[in-house]
Amino acid sequence: MTNRKPLNSISAGIVVLFLIFTVSCGTEAPSDLTKESIIPKPLSVTATGDYFCLGKKADICIQGESDELKQVAGYLADRLRPATGFPLEVKTTEETPGKGNIFLTLSSPDATLGDEGYKIIISKKLITLAANKPAGLFNGIQTLRQLFPAEIEMSTKHEYDWHIAGGTITDYPAYKYRGAMLDVARHFFSVEDVKRFIDLISAYKINALHLHLSDDQGWRIEIKSWPNLALYGGKTEVGGGVGGYYTQEQYADIVKYADDRFVTIVPEIDMPGHTNAALASYPELNISGKATELYSGTEVGFSTLATKKDITYKFIEDVFGELAALTTGPYLHIGGDESHVTKKEDYIPFVEKVQDIVIKLGKQPIGWDEISLGVLRPGAIAQYWSSAENANKAVAQGAKLLMSPSSRAYIDMKYDSATVIGYTWAGLIEVDKAYNWDPATLEPGIGRENILGIETTLWSETVTNMEEIEYLTFPRLPGLAEVGWTHSSFRNWDEYKVRLGNHGKRFKAMDINYYPSKLVPWAE
Ligand code: NGO
Answer yes or no: is pLDDT of 13 > 60: no
End-to-end CA distance of the chain: 57
Q: For residues 318 and 387, what is the distance between their CA atoms, to the nearest angstrom? A: 31
Q: How far is the C-alpha of 180 from the C-alpha of 375, rounded, in Å? A: 27
Q: Which pLDDT score is estimated for 9? A: 46
What residues pair up with 455 in beta bridges, in sequence order? 179
How many other C-beta atoms are found inside a 10 Å radius of the C-beta of residue 373?
Answer: 18
d(CA 209, CA 501): 26
Distance (Å) from CA 321 to ligand 1 centroid: 26
- Residue 459 CA to ligand 1 center (angstroms) comes to 7
Express each pLDDT in 267-317 by its tens digit.
Answer: 999 999 999 999 999 999 999 999 999 999 999 999 999 999 999 999 999
Reduced to 3 states, what is the DSSP secondary structure of residue 266?
Answer: strand
Ligand 1 pocket mutation pick from 300, 339, 401, 406 by most atoms within 8 angstroms of CB: 300
Res. 6 pLDDT band, cuts 50 70 90: very low
Ligand 1 mean position to 197 CA, how many Å?
Answer: 20
Q: What 3-state DSSP class applies to 342? A: coil
Residue 237: the pLDDT is: 98
Give per-residue pLDDT as tens, 49-61: 999 999 999 999 9
| Gap from CA of 56 to ligand 1 centroid (Å) | 50
Q: Whose CA is nearest to atom 8 of ligand 1?
A: 337
Residue nearest to atom 4 of ligand 1 (CA): 459
Going by CA atoms, what residue is nearest to atom 11 of ligand 1?
300
pLDDT at 14: 45
Residue 413 CA, closest ligand 1 atom number: 14
Q: Ligand 1: which residue has its CA nearest to atom 6?
A: 459
190's CB contacts (< 8 A; 6+ apart) are: 244
Residue 278 near residue 219 (C-beta atoms within 8 A): yes
The pLDDT value recorded for residue 18 is: 41
Q: Whose CA is nearest to atom 13 of ligand 1?
A: 459
Q: What is the mean pLDDT of residues 359-386?
A: 98
Q: Find the mean pLDDT for residues 353-382.
A: 98
Q: How far is the CA of 91 from the centre of ligand 1 (A)?
A: 48
pLDDT of residue 265: 99
3-class state of residue 369 by DSSP: helix
Q: Residue 323 has what DSSP assignment?
A: H
Q: Please choose from 184, 338, 412 the residue to mutate so as to test ligand 1's pocket, defined by most ligand atoms within 8 A of CB.
A: 338
pLDDT at 24: 52
Q: Residue 354 Cα, ligand 1 centroid: separation in angstroms?
A: 21
Q: How far is the CA of 412 from the centre of ligand 1 (A)?
A: 9
Of ligand 1's listed atoms, the one at least distance from the Cα of 404 is 8
- Ligand 1 atom with minimal separation from the 460 CA: 12
pLDDT digits (tens, 9 = 90+) for 313-356: 999 999 999 999 999 999 999 999 999 999 999 999 999 999 99
Q: What pLDDT, on the 0 to 100 scale, is given for residue 25? A: 64
Please tell me the predicted confidence (pLDDT) of residue 436: 98
Q: How confident is the model at residue 377 (pLDDT cuts 50, 70, 90)?
A: very high
Nearest-CA residue for atom 9 of ligand 1: 337
Provide the pLDDT for residue 65. 79
pLDDT score recorded for residue 220: 98
Longest dimension (CA), the chain: 99
Residues with Cβ within 6 A of ligand 1? 300, 337-338, 368, 385, 410, 412, 423, 459, 461
**How many CA atoms does the CB half-sphere of 251 hold within 13 Å?**
26
One-letter amino acid identity for 494? D
Nearest ligand 1 atom to alpha carbon 412: 14
pLDDT tens digits along 459-504: 999 999 999 999 999 999 999 999 999 999 999 999 999 999 999 9
User: Are the C-beta atoms of 429 and 459 separated by less than 8 Å?
Assistant: no
Ligand 1: residue whose CA is nearest its atom 5: 459
* Residue 231 in this model has a pLDDT that exceeds 90: yes
Give the full edge-to-edge strand order of the sheet including 90-93.
44-53, 163-171, 118-122, 126-130, 101-105, 60-63, 90-93
Model pLDDT, residue 372: 98
Q: Using one digit for the tens of pLDDT, what is the confidence trace for 76-113? A: 999 999 999 999 999 999 888 999 999 999 987 899 99
**Ligand 1 atom with least separation from CA of 338:** 9
- Mean pLDDT computed over 262-271: 98
pLDDT tens digits for range 166-213: 999 999 999 999 999 999 999 999 999 999 999 999 999 999 999 999
Across residues 374-378, what is the average pLDDT?
Answer: 97
Count Cβ neighbours within 10 Å for each residue of 128-162 and write b for 16 or more, e otherwise. bbbbbbbbbbbbbbbbbbbbbbbbbbbeeebebbb
Atom of ligand 1 nearest to the CA of 426: 14
pLDDT at 28: 63
Average pLDDT of every residue of the chain: 94
Cα of 457 to ligand 1 centre, how many Å? 9
Which H, E and C letters describe 481-516, residue by residue? HHHHHCCHHHCCHHHHHHHHHHHHHHHHHCCCCCCC
Confidence of residue 254 (pLDDT cuts 50, 70, 90): very high
Mean pLDDT, rounded, for 10-28? 47
pLDDT > 60? residue 10: no
Test site for ligand 1: of 459, 460, 461, most ligand atoms within 8 A of the Cβ: 459
Residues that are catalytic: 338
Q: What is the percent of the chain with per-residue pLDDT over 90, rounded to a whole number?
A: 91
Closest C-alpha residue for ligand 1 atom 7: 337
| pLDDT tens track for 136-165 | 999 999 999 999 999 999 999 999 889 999
Average pLDDT over every residue of 419-425: 98
Kindly report the pTM of this predicted structure: 0.95
Ligand 1 atom nearest residue 425's Cα: 14
CA distance 103 to 114: 20
